[in-house]
Amino acid sequence: MQYLGYAKKQSTGIDGLQMKIQIDLKAADFEQLWINSMEWQNNDWQKQADRFEPNPLFTWQYAYWFDNYAALKMAEGFIAGLGKNYALHSDEGTGDWVMLTNYASPCHLRKTLVNA
C-alpha cells in the first residue's frame, strides 16, 4: 500500500504553513518507523492507564511506540492512507508517543501464522 500526498501550502496555526508531501510507504517501511509494538487488547493496560495522555481506549488491537515525531507523522499518514482508524497518545512512562490501532503490521501477522 502506498501513502500518496501532494505539495500544498495552506495558512494554519501560528507558523501559517501546512504542507502535504508525497511519500511511498510499504508495510515493511512502517515496521521501521516504530521502536516497539505489541498487542494492546487483553494485556492489562488498564492498570497503567494513568501513564497515557489522553486516557486511551482498551478496545484497540495493537499499540506502536515512536520516539521520533517525524516517524510518528509518517506512520499516521500510512495508517490513514489505509483507511484504518487510530488514536495517538503520549506515554508518560516511556516519554514516547503511542499509536493505537487495529492495523496488524507484518510482524504481528507472522506471529498469528506461527501460533496457528
Question: CATH no. for residue 82?
Answer: 3.10.28
The domain of 72 spans 26-115
Neighbours of 86 (CB within 10 A): 18
Q: Using CA of residue 72, residue 77, residue 78, residue 84, what is the dihedral sign?
A: positive
For the cut 90, the answer to whether the pLDDT of residue 12 exceeds it is: no
The answer to the question of residue 21 being in a domain is: no
Q: Which three cell numbers stand for residue 15?
A: 507558523
For the cut 60, the answer to whether the pLDDT of residue 9 exceeds it is: no
pLDDT band at 85 (very low <50, low <70, confident <90, very high): very high
The answer to the question of residue 109 being in a domain is: yes
Q: What is the domain count for the chain?
A: 1
The answer to the question of residue 13 being in a domain is: no
The answer to the question of residue 50 being in a domain is: yes
For the cut 70, the answer to whether the pLDDT of residue 1 exceeds it is: no
pLDDT at 45: 92
Give the global pTM.
0.81
